[in-house]
Homo-oligomer: A and B are copies of this chain.
Amino acid sequence: MNETFRPTLNDVARAAGVSTATVSRCLNEPDRVVPATRERVMRAVKDLGYTPDFGGRALASRRTKTVGAVIPTMENAIFARGLQAFQETLSEAGVTLLVAGSGYDSEREAEQVRALVGRGADGLLLIGLARPQATYDYLRQRGTPYVLAWNLGDTSDHFIGFDNLRAAAEIASKVIELGHRDIAMIAGVTSMNDRAADRVEGVRSAMRRAISEVKSFDVIEAPYTFEDGATAFDRLVRRTPRPTAVICGNDVLAVGAISRAKALGLGVPGDISITGFDDIDIASFVEPALTTVHVPHRRMGSAAAQVLLRLIANEPVEPRVEIGVEIVMRGSLGPPPGTTP
């Protein structure tokens, strides 16, 4: 009754009264089999509940129709979105996606890369570019195609991303233009995270360019939750001089900051302006709506899939796909208090 029976090609062949080769053909190139036998084989497949064994198939054919992705965490909406699109595009090409999480740890990422490659992944998606050289060496030695997303680099790898530094600089310039002179930044954790680091560097460069105007500039780092953003805001707002604008490294931190500002009785943007980065869904639903950098994560995900598929098929690809981002002005950024309009 509870017999666990895993039918093989052989079982199907016997049941249908044909050879294993014919069954294999029915599954892979149905046209090369006459409808009569095909029908019989397909019936046997259904009856036995046969599913091709992946291991055997991979072993015999040397490819898997599988690609892997290693992302920092599934708990962040921006990766979830991009990955969803990535997988939809792969799906259309009949390719399966395997997802693994690194927890923002580059050693763990290296492990996962090896695991996915060992599993026969035909190609890999990795996030950003900050990782040990050994990981790159491994991939290149194996000849496993891979793409890097969410940022742009200047190596010979394939990038599908946007210029985090420039975008961050632009939004910071907007803040300065509006007249803010005491500015602070709540950054994501920059260690081994080139996206977070680039955003800090972008904001810093904008500050340097306006060095004669900006009076104070402070950066603190915070982890990944709304709560972390709120806590960081708490600390910043106690400093002297109190910043009139807080630039956040991502929307999660920014939403946390807005919430805490309101809880402290500070008007946004009346008393203090706040900006984000990413334009996640919630950004337009908080009050005031968040001024942020819109990143088309879905477009980036499917572009990454397209590049990776071409790479795997050995078709020509452009080494660098820049995804356009743009600043969306919403209610959370305004002129500093005491400004005459």
A contacts, CB < 8 Å to B: 2-6, 49, 51-59, 64, 73-75, 77, 80-81, 83-84, 87, 96-101, 114-115, 117-120, 137-138, 140-143, 225-226, 230, 255-256, 259, 262, 281-282, 284-287
| Bound Cα distance A64, B226 (Å) | 38
Nearest-CB residue, chain B, relative to A229 = B285
| Bound Cα distance A157, B73 (Å) | 30
- B59 and A56 form a contact (CB under 8 A): yes
Report the minimum CB–CB distance from A55 to chain B (whole Å).
4
Cβ contact of A100, chosen from B3, B64, B96, B101, cutoff 8 A: B96
Chain B residues with CB under 8 Å of A287's CB are: 259, 262, 287
Nearest-CB residue, chain B, relative to A5 = B141
| Bound Cα distance A84, B117 (Å) | 22
| Bound Cα distance A73, B255 (Å) | 24
- A255 and B56 form a contact (CB under 8 A): no
| Bound Cα distance A51, B138 (Å) | 10
Given contacts A5-B141, A285-B255, contact A99 B99 (CB under 8 A): yes
- A55 and B59 form a contact (CB under 8 A): yes
| Bound Cα distance A118, B120 (Å) | 14
Cβ contact of A143, chosen from B4, B97, B255, cutoff 8 A: B4
| Bound Cα distance A282, B51 (Å) | 42
- A54 and B84 form a contact (CB under 8 A): no
**Nearest 9 CB-CB pairs, A to B?**
A4-B143, A55-B58, A55-B55, A54-B119, A51-B118, A55-B59, A259-B285, A74-B80, A99-B99
- B115 and A96 form a contact (CB under 8 A): yes
Given contacts A74-B80, A96-B100, contact A120 B259 (CB under 8 A): no
Chain B residues with CB under 8 Å of A3's CB are: 143
- A114 and B51 form a contact (CB under 8 A): yes
Report the minimum CB–CB distance from A29 to chain B (whole Å).
19
- A51 and B117 form a contact (CB under 8 A): yes
| Bound Cα distance A98, B66 (Å) | 12
Chain B residues with CB under 8 Å of A83's CB are: 74
Chain B residues with CB under 8 Å of A255's CB are: 282, 285
Chain B residues with CB under 8 Å of A282's CB are: 226, 255, 282
| Bound Cα distance A156, B104 (Å) | 39
| Bound Cα distance A55, B118 (Å) | 8
- B143 and A2 form a contact (CB under 8 A): yes
Nearest-CB residue, chain B, relative to A96 = B115
20 A-B contacts (beta carbon < 8 Å): A3-B143, A4-B142, A6-B143, A51-B142, A53-B58, A53-B120, A54-B58, A55-B58, A55-B59, A55-B120, A59-B59, A73-B84, A74-B84, A74-B99, A75-B77, A226-B285, A230-B285, A259-B285, A285-B286, A287-B287
- B101 and A87 form a contact (CB under 8 A): yes
Report the minimum CB–CB distance from A246 to chain B (whole Å).
16
| Bound Cα distance A74, B83 (Å) | 8
Cβ contact of A80, chosen from B51, B64, B80, B87, cutoff 8 A: B80
